[in-house]
Structure 1
Amino acid sequence: MTIDHIPEPARHGQGEPFGPAWQGITLPRELLDRHGAKVLDPWAVGLDPGEARPDSTVYRADVLLVPGQLLAVREATDRIDEALSTVGLKLSAESVDRARDRDFGDRTVWLPAVLEIADGARDVMADAWPALRAVRRALADPSYAEPAAAALRSQLDQISLDHLFVGSATSGIGSLDLGGEPATSGHAVTEQPGTGGGPGYGRIPLTVVAGPPRRRTLEELGGPRITVVILDTGVATHPWFRPVTDPDAFLTVDPDGQQQIEDTHPAYAGRDIARLEGYEDLGQVPNPLIGTLNSHTGHGLMLAGIIAQTAPDARVLSYKVMHSDGVVPGEALHAALDRLLDLMDDGQPVDVLCCSFGGFSESGDAAMQSLFTKVNQLRARGVTVVNAAGNYATTRPFYLAALSETDVPGPPLAPMLGVAAKNPDGTVAIFSNDHPAVRWRAPGAMVVSTFPPAHRGAQNAPLSVGERAALDCDAVGPFCGWSGTSFAAPIVAGVIAAELTKTLGQVGVDPVERARTVIDTMINDKAARPEITPI
């Protein structure tokens, strides 16, 4: 197994200035409805003179992501409501009240603010895109040029769409005709044996006869374990892992932090949308009457098993921010990053952050600036961030990976990496995205790892006679082979953790410098391999 670094990224012609609707944004209607979301169509929106046409993206239809400090100040909410009134909308009272009951401290905390129809308005649709444009249009008011309003303007300018990120392409990768979902999200049901669908990247049950790699005790290690954080679908019971309550478990959770993520769910009145609950991967099915496994069931446990294979002496801290259908709400992601900053401020270690998800934005890097700023606060504390490149076979910027090589003014930060997927023969996987910021490649096709054995869907084996049956690909068992840049990223994260483990005896080393040195070592070695002892 090798990990490749690309000193000068290959360029394959001019990338898309903005993506057609099919290029990565073709989520099924039922998925959008489940999360109260919609796709921004660049050709179906109004434009003011001189305004640039937006790109396609996915966002909560009636929610704006607003700095909580703004929602807690009456002058700010009055200004926002005044701007929203021009499109017949207002902030929900529940969203505002929830912010005013909270102590935010010095850090900007992003909260979802639900939009409602303004009093007296008729035939209005609560849509966050025209609402955001109304706020931005109001910022051109000359009153904001006054010194007293400058700080307020700066904060109002940070209001954004509540983007939804995805673990992988949940409905194909456009017009490349790669068989749709199996090439990207890996739902095995759509690629049963004998159907001939897709190029062979589907989620497939496997038998693994080896046990987990040996993990040294804390006494043998001689120092604290390196902590790798994964933001994904949560944890599940598996024979490889001790209970998360074990004092020195490999796979761990943070119930208080998970509650903080739960509490950021949009404050809807009278209706609800899919909600993240607890830290466990519950294997929730998209349609209980059919009962087949959801597309990203077990995604997080796969990541944990990959890191266990490459860095068994580390520990994984798992936060559930992804639904089992692969959707990651923007507010949940912000809340998880806030929790990590709080932990580090309290002296708890975080060394590597692995993000096996991403998304597209409507206005390039600018739309992701608040998220990038939050990630950079972690990097300033020495956290190396590893991002999946995405599985859409596109050159469109896929965030956060597309920001991995972005220069940040000020003191040096810990590295941020974008990781593409390779096939077993070393070629780039056909589904893997390409972008100048994606400078790392790791195995990402049919990667073998841990899967929740308790999750069994309703899809029966295609052939069953008495005790004999064909492979039941909707009841995966303890292990499976799965494909995507989602699984290339934790390989890199695990190797980084293994290299960091070698530095545990060092004293007085700046964490940012230590992180940069590890990445430089991996680059100079040209190929990074886990330690292997032949038998």
Structure 2
Amino acid sequence: MKIRFTDHAPRLSDTDSHRAHAAGLPNLPQRLLDRHRARVLRPGEAPVAAGMASPGSTIYRYDRVLLCHRLLADDALMADVDNALGEIGVRLDHDAIARTDACRPHPVALRLTDEAAPGTVDAWAALQTLHGAVSAGRCATEITGRVRLDHLMVGSALTGVGMYGTGDDSGGWPNGSGPYVEQSTLSSGYLNRMPVEVIAPMPPRRERGALPGNRRPVIAVLDTGIVDGHPAFDVSDRACARDTFVVVDEELQDILEAIADPQSPVLHGTRDDPGVPGSLLGDLASHYGHGTFIAGIIRQLAPDAQVRSIRVMHNDGLVYENECVTALTTIADEVARARDGDPTAEPVDIVSLSFGYADETPGDVPEGGLAAVIRRLTGLGVPVVCAAGNFASDRPFYPAAFAATPGDGPPSAPVLSVGALNPNGTVAMFSNAGPWVACYATGAGLVSTVPYGVDGATGPAREVVGAGDPRESLDPDDFATGFAVWSGTSFAAPAVAARIASAMLDSGLSLGRHDLDAAAHRVRDAIKTISG
């Protein structure tokens, strides 16, 4: 496994803010946008309030906005928001707003008012209306920045979603199961998820009692979830308090399900789902097994670690920003309790994120809930390792590009943005790059675990029957062995997370100490070790 750190601190150069902001976006077919109630914000078509800069392109959910919890708690400010939106025939769905003290943005649906003419709601237009009302003095300035888009984030595996496309909206895959992947990229040697047989055994895993501090380093993987029954690792729920390699968090999953939009696809439970939504043909979804593949990478590189699997990604590779922020906030809350000495808290040591989005903010320096919670995690001594994206672009991809944005003070742990290397150490053709990328790791042609024994509807290219034993070419979605080769910055990021976890143990520092200084020391030493 190759890891190469850049020779400079991650930064957003002055020229980044002037680049063409149509780059760095997936070419999602309309059926996927419709499924997730999303739109593409196009700079040349987007309405802009007077005095506001033209936005960059992004993908967002059109019928909801994210409201800061402080705004929700202020009746006077909410009245200002209601009055301003009422001028364009739009209202916030107050009946569905859960007024809690949770320090995170809350998703709130947009609806037409009873008096409005037939039309559509649009979150971007609503935001620009509020900006205009603030500029005209009809709304308090405190509203600015407290109402934001709910971005649609994309997974960074080289398979359909998250890869740049040709504009063919039909998909180019059987039954349109994923957006078209550039043939030039595939012909360059980058295979889509492909089954392989693995002969080498998994590395041995020590008993927890043999580890320093009698505790495993815990890597939180926010992804598609996990599957049961793979012989490479065992899975249990956190509530069972078992020392399995993967633990799922049913309690957190219930929180995410409770805030989900019932008009959009809802993730039920912790386990990954194979089917392509709406298809009766048995195709495997483009990102089915994505989280299992990541868990297998960590199992190979850090066998003594533990993966905390949290399901936020749909099996088509798409993630709702508000659900990601809620999951990260819950993790940060538990880390904070551990730092305060709560013996019942079981904090994570590293967060691994293999998805992201391009922000619409001119200059690509977003603020808001995602930035705030990641800043909080790093301030608590938890490094956040993020895939840099697969668009062969230098446009910042968030949350990875937060590696180049300073926090409120010197963070005790970094955000690490990770690009992909080929096995020979060169930068992969598909990988994003730029001054905001902190390091690169092997992310092309990796072999890891996929759901065991799964066979999709795509058959072998050729079969011969009647001449002795049946013969056929390789079946591209028959994963009878439970292993596959796959590529993407999706897999470079958890490889770096795993190496950090392994270095933490190798350093001999006690992982039983939960205080901030000890956590910061562990992270700094581990990164120094893996950077050579």
State the AA in 2 paired with 1:519. I
Instruction: Give me the identity figure in percent.
Output: 38
The residue aligned with 2:475 is 472
Query: Contact 2:61 / 2:123 at 8 angstroms: preserved in 1?
Result: yes
Query: Contact 1:420 / 1:438 at 8 angstroms: preserved in 2?
Result: yes
Tell me, yes or no, if structure 1 residue 308 matches structure 2 residue 299.
yes
**Equivalent residue for 2:489, pick from 485, 495, 508:** 485
The residue aligned with 2:148 is 160
State the AA in 1 paired with 2:51. G
Query: Contact 2:152 / 2:321 at 8 angstroms: preserved in 1?
Result: yes
The residue aligned with 2:356 is 358
Q: 1:181 to 1:251 in 2, by over 3 A?
A: farther
Shift, 1:2, TM fit: 2.0
**Equivalent residue for 1:132, pick from 110, 114, 127:** 127
Tell me, yes or no, if structure 1 residue 5 matches structure 2 residue 5.
yes
Query: Contact 2:38 / 2:61 at 8 angstroms: preserved in 1?
Result: yes
Any idea what SS the aligned residue of 1:132 has?
A: helix
Q: 1:84 to 1:263 in 2, by over 3 A?
A: same
Tell me, yes or no, if structure 1 residue 443 matches structure 2 residue 473.
no
The residue aligned with 1:510 is 518
- Tell me the alpha carbon deviations over residues 305-332 of structure 1, each in whole angstroms, 9 at most, x when there is no partner: 0011110001000100000000010111
Shift, 1:428, TM fit: 0.4
Query: Contact 2:388 / 2:397 at 8 angstroms: preserved in 1?
Result: yes
- Superposition pairs for residues 297-336 of structure 1, below 5 Å? 297-336=288-327
The residue aligned with 1:532 is none
The residue aligned with 1:244 is 236
Query: Contact 1:25 / 1:39 at 8 angstroms: preserved in 2?
Result: no
Q: 1:519 to 1:331 in 2, by over 3 A?
A: same
The alignment's TM-score, normalised by the length of structure 2, stands at 0.87
The residue aligned with 1:77 is 78
- Superposition pairs for residues 344-383 of structure 1, below 5 Å? 344-347=335-338, 348-363=346-361, 364-383=363-382
Shift, 1:161, TM fit: 0.3
- Tell me the alpha carbon deviations over residues 417-457 of structure 1, each in whole angstroms, 9 at most, x when there is no partner: 11010011111000000121102010000110000024322
Q: 1:141 to 1:47 in 2, by over 3 A?
A: closer
Q: 1:491 to 1:414 in 2, by over 3 A?
A: same
- Superposition pairs for residues 259-338 of structure 1, below 5 Å? 259-266=254-261, 272-338=263-329
Tell me, yes or no, if structure 1 residue 453 matches structure 2 residue 443.
no
Any idea what SS the aligned residue of 1:438 has?
A: coil
Looking at structure 2, the residues matched to 171 and 230 of structure 1 have their Cα atoms a distance apart, in angstroms, of 18
Q: 1:210 to 1:522 in 2, by over 3 A?
A: closer
Q: 1:447 to 1:47 in 2, by over 3 A?
A: same
Looking at structure 2, the residues matched to 201 and 176 of structure 1 have their Cα atoms a distance apart, in angstroms, of 20
- Superposition pairs for residues 194-209 of structure 1, below 5 Å? 199-209=189-199
State the AA in 2 paired with 1:167. G
Looking at structure 1, the residues matched to 390 and 377 of structure 2 have their Cα atoms a distance apart, in angstroms, of 26
Looking at structure 2, the residues matched to 58 and 127 of structure 1 have their Cα atoms a distance apart, in angstroms, of 12
Deviates more, 1:43-52 or 1:449-458: 43-52
The residue aligned with 1:115 is 110
Unpaired segments of 5 or more residues in structure 2? Answer: 339-345
Looking at structure 2, the residues matched to 49 and 143 of structure 1 have their Cα atoms a distance apart, in angstroms, of 14
Query: Contact 1:191 / 1:198 at 8 angstroms: preserved in 2?
Result: no
- Tell me the alpha carbon deviations over residues 64-88 of structure 1, each in whole angstroms, 9 at most, x when there is no partner: 0112343354333322111111221
Looking at structure 1, the residues matched to 194 and 43 of structure 2 have their Cα atoms a distance apart, in angstroms, of 37
Deviates more, 1:311-320 or 1:131-140: 131-140
- Tell me the alpha carbon deviations over residues 252-280 of structure 1, each in whole angstroms, 9 at most, x when there is no partner: 111101111111212x5xxx221111110
The residue aligned with 1:533 is none
Query: Contact 1:404 / 1:417 at 8 angstroms: preserved in 2?
Result: yes
Any idea what SS the aligned residue of 2:91 has?
A: strand
